[in-house]
């Protein structure tokens, strides 16, 4: 029985690496996308120490050339892709819970553009590039890393736990990811491909910062759940673990 093939963007550290580890522990062959070749290889070496089948490719989510190169790699080496975890992203507005660099009205346009380039446009670019290979899978799964900070309902609710946690560029980019998730899931309805958005939680990573309450192991679990959904599982949803979140 052929192993499933998974591609995790930004998979050399943090939630991405732990997602690769947990998928690998399930017997899935994982391919890590990392901007730096040495960092990607170091991640593979760590996984192989745990007897997890893995590879790494040099991959920058903002590079259209890298999107095409990833397609060529999977097409020639595996002939298909079963799981795409769009994990790569950035937060440029200070350490969450510790530092807040900009208000909504003082947010520099370069920060907004750079955030959207990685978190939204890059995500769409690689998904579009790899979709023909996901169509070759008997059970394709696309997991878009979002955040509860992308929830319009919760941001507008004065009683919600995120009401005062405003980072205009990052939050807006994740709201856009949620919208794209719904649109793509609708297009692929009736196919074997499921598309969902994941809120990993507020996790202790370089991006999550020192104030985050969750460990990385728990933070990867939502991505793993959505990457391995059964045929009767949901599509076009927004989840933390098994719980649906409000848009």
How confident is the model over 60-88, as a mean pLDDT?
Answer: 98
What residue numbers bound the domain in which 171 lies? 5-244
Q: What is the mean pLDDT of residues 100-129?
A: 97
Q: How many domains does the chain have?
A: 1
In angstroms, how far apart are the furthest CA atoms of the chain?
55
Helix (H) or strand (E) holding 105: none
* pLDDT band of 94, cuts 50, 70, 90: confident
The CATH number covering residue 234 comes to 3.40.50.720
Q: What is the pLDDT of residue 138?
A: 95
The strand pair at 243-244 and 238-240 is best described as: antiparallel
Confidence of residue 237 (pLDDT cuts 50, 70, 90): very high
Q: Are strands 5-9 and 83-86 parallel, antiparallel or unpaired?
A: parallel
């Amino acid at each position: 029985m052929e192993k499933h093939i998974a591609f995790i963007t930004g998979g050399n550290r943090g939630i991405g690496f732990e997602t690769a580890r947990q998928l690998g522990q399930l017997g899935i062959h994982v391919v890590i996308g990392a901007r730096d070749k040495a960092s990607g290889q170091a991640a593979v070496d760590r996984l192989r120490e745990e007897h997890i089948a893995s590879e790494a490719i040099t991959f920058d989510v903002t590079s259209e050339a890298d999107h095409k190169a990833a397609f060529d790699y999977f097409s020639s080496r595996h002939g298909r892709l079963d799981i795409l975890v769009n994990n790569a992203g950035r937060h440029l507005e200070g350490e969450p819970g510790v530092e807040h660099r900009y208000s909504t009205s003082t947010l520099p346009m370069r920060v907004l553009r750079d955030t959207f380039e990685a978190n939204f446009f890059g995500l769409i670019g690689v998904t579009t590039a790899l979709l023909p290979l996901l169509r070759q899978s008997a059970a394709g799964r696309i997991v878009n890393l979002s955040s509860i900070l992308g929830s319009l309902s919760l941001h507008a609710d004065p009683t919600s736990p995120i009401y005062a946690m405003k980072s205009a560029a990052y939050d807006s980019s994740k709201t856009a990811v949620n919208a794209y998730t719904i649109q793509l899931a609708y297009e692929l309805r009736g196919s074997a491909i499921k598309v969902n958005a994941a809120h990993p939680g507020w996790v202790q990573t370089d991006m999550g910062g020192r104030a985050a309450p969750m460990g990385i192991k728990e933070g990867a679990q939502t991505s793993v759940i959505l990457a391995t959904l059964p045929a009767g599982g949901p599509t076009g949803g927004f989840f933390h673990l098994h719980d649906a979140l409000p848009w």
